[in-house]
Amino acid sequence: MSVLCNTRILGSELTGVQRYLSEILKRAPGVDTLPAPSWARGPAGHAWEQMVLPVHLRGRQLLWSPSNVGPIAVRRQVVTLHDLATIEFPEGFSTGFQAFYAWLLPRLLPRVDAVITVSEYTRARALERFGLDPDRVRAIPLGVDHSRFSPQPANEIEDFREREKLPARFILFLGSLSTRKNIEGLLAAWRIAQGRIGEDVQLVIAGGAGQAQFKGNGVAELPPRTMLTGRVSESDLPLLLGAATLFAFPSLYEGFGLPPLEAMACGTPALVGNATSLPEVAGDAAILVDPRDPESIAEALTIVDRPDELAEFSRRGRARSLEFNWQTSASRTLEVLGEFS
């Protein structure tokens, strides 16, 4: 197999797409990699990808483009499509970014040898929107690193809780402040739910830099009993997930939805939106809510005061998470790359 992977995205801030690529490459020693130069970030990175990367190939290898886009001039290519958010949920993206993806994807995806999607939902949307050959579009779900994301020792969780000054019981949101993550809907639900649950429960929001980011996203004021942690280190992430009473992820649009799956792997019950790929990933192991209905979310949040139900969803979530692992994702990806190399 002769495959060259474009690793341009590994120079960017760690997100689910970067984690996907790094986890697959750990388990794909036969795949060559080509990082972009340090200057190739943002628009310059896209220019490098479109104009410079094809020169490195010269038709000798199959190109694997693992982050939604790739050079339109290269037909001998497999593209991993994580979602169609830039087209189907453009809120939160700049006009120029939207326009670039709206122009590129309909021209790129029908030309390449194969497309890998990370869920059946995204596969169906890609087939419908771009008229692709179903035999050339393969859905390969993401995985969980169970050596990291698993129930954490109680003493380590308590040490972490004390160090970070976290409450004994809290609902956790972890993610970006993109409109599609529905932080406004969660905050509206939290305002409603506070009168229905114990006064010791707090909402902890991790992943953002602070209050200024919320004001920039149209949130005038945070509700009482709401705590911001800012970004959490990769090493602390399993402890944060394990310390939470409930993981709340009422997203409006996801191509897969890795954070709730990792929470479930840590033994924390998850609440997710009943939209796009999330029901496919969570199955019956998470609490499903209408993400556009704050009352639906608020009522579901009251499970924090029902320990028996929490324990049941913890059990189901842990079992569900074990169905996903990165070795399977990598093996299936290598099969596709081998088929077309």
* Higher-confidence position of 59 and 251: 251
Q: What is the DSSP string of 153-205?
A: PHHHHHHHHHHHT--SSEEEEES---GGG-HHHHHHHHHHHTTTS-TT-EEEE
Edge-first strand order for the sheet with 32-34 is: 32-34, 3-6, 62-65, 77-81, 114-117, 137-139
Q: Residue 211 above 50 pLDDT? A: no
Residues 242, 139 within the same domain? no
Residue ranges making up the domain that contains 306: 154-321
What per-residue confidence (pLDDT) applies to 246? 98
Residues 75, 186 within the same domain? no
Q: Residue 195 above 80 pLDDT? A: yes
Name the domain count of the chain: 2
Angle (nearest 5°) at CA 66 between 49 and 144: 150
Residue 101 placed within a domain: yes
Percent of all residues in the chain with a pLDDT value above 70, rounded to a whole number: 95
pLDDT tens string 154-176 = 999 999 999 999 999 999 999 88
pLDDT tens string 61-96 = 999 999 999 999 999 999 999 999 999 998 878 899
Measured CA distances, 307 to 212, 265, 282, 304, 310 (Å): 35, 18, 20, 7, 5
Residues 100, 201 within the same domain? no
The CATH number for 81's domain is: 3.40.50.2000
Residues 213, 76 within the same domain? no
Residues 77, 168 within the same domain? no
Residue 148 placed within a domain: no
Residues 74, 186 within the same domain? no
